Amino acid sequence: MYKVFVNDRPLFLTNEIVKETDFQLFLLESVDIHQLIVKMFQNKIQKAYLYHPDEKEIMKMLKEKIPVNKAGGGLVYNKKGEVLFILRNGKWDLPKGGIEKGEEIDQTAIREVEEETGVAGLKINKKLQKTYHVFIRNGRYKLKIVHWFEMQTDFEGTPMPQEEEGIEKVAWLNPDEIKEALKNSFENIKLLFEAKSS
């Protein structure tokens, strides 16, 4: 199953019919994906399941209907085991950004973390899951697929927020502070931490 966040609300792409009742179920053959996305942005639908026997087929259709924006990001640990967070538009987030021509996705993740936070000396430990969310730019919907990497750094300088990207603050947060920050974060960021604790 894929979880795609639309306006921070879940759209599940699934090959299972579930018996829950607090959501709307749509069949891939009969749904207008674009209309579904619009309704989720207008808060008319809080949670939806999109069903097809082959969930990869649903993702393929979604990518055909909505342009894909590929990005890389980092879940970065320092020597104290704290995680690097950024505050943007009043919400806690992890550093990430779009891929550039000719770049490998792991290079994108490292470059974006360095640009957005000023933190250097990054080493990738492992690849984490991908997250999916739909956003609006210039009146057009885009599907952002973020490839996340767990990283480590010995960096001891002062992190510097990339202000032209709207980043207000960069901070190293300990486990208790992370719990607090996630209350004011995005669903796809919470997913990364849920996956770590399970």
For residues 23 and 153, the model is more confident at 153
Q: What's the token pair of residue 89?
A: 């538009």
Confidence (pTM): 0.91
Residue 176 CA to its chain's centroid (Å): 22
pLDDT reported for residue 198? 57
Average pLDDT over residues 89-113: 97
CA dist 89 and 142 (Å) reads: 19
Residue 172: pLDDT band (50, 70, 90) is very high
Average pLDDT, stretch 67-89? 97
Residues 47-71, mean pLDDT to the nearest whole number: 93
What's the token pair of residue 177?
Answer: 């502070």
Q: Which letter does DSSP use for residue 157 in this model? A: S
User: How far does Cα 146 stand from its chain's mean position?
Assistant: 5
Q: What is the pLDDT of residue 21?
A: 67
Specify the pLDDT at position 135: 92
Overall average pLDDT of the 48-73 stretch: 93
- What are the CA-CA distances from residue 117 to residues 28, 55, 59, 91, 160 (Å)? 41, 36, 32, 15, 5
* pLDDT in the model for residue 111: 98
- CB of 122 within 8 A of CB of 114? yes
What is the per-residue pLDDT across 106-147, written as a single tens digit (0 to 9) for each? Answer: 999 999 999 999 999 999 999 999 999 999 989 899 999 999
pLDDT score of 25: 87
CB distance 13 to 62 below 8 Å:
yes
Q: How confident is the model at residue 197 (pLDDT cuts 50, 70, 90)?
A: low
Mean pLDDT for all residues in the chain: 93
Q: Who's near 176: CB < 8 A, 6+ residues apart?
A: none
Q: What is the CATH number of domain 68-197?
A: 3.90.79.10
| Start-end of CATH 3.90.79.10 domains in the chain | 68-197
User: Quick one: average pLDDT of 16-35?
Assistant: 83
Phi, psi torsion values for 61, nearest 5 degrees: -65, -45
- What is the rounded distance in angstroms from the CA atom of residue 37 to the CA atom of residue 177? 33
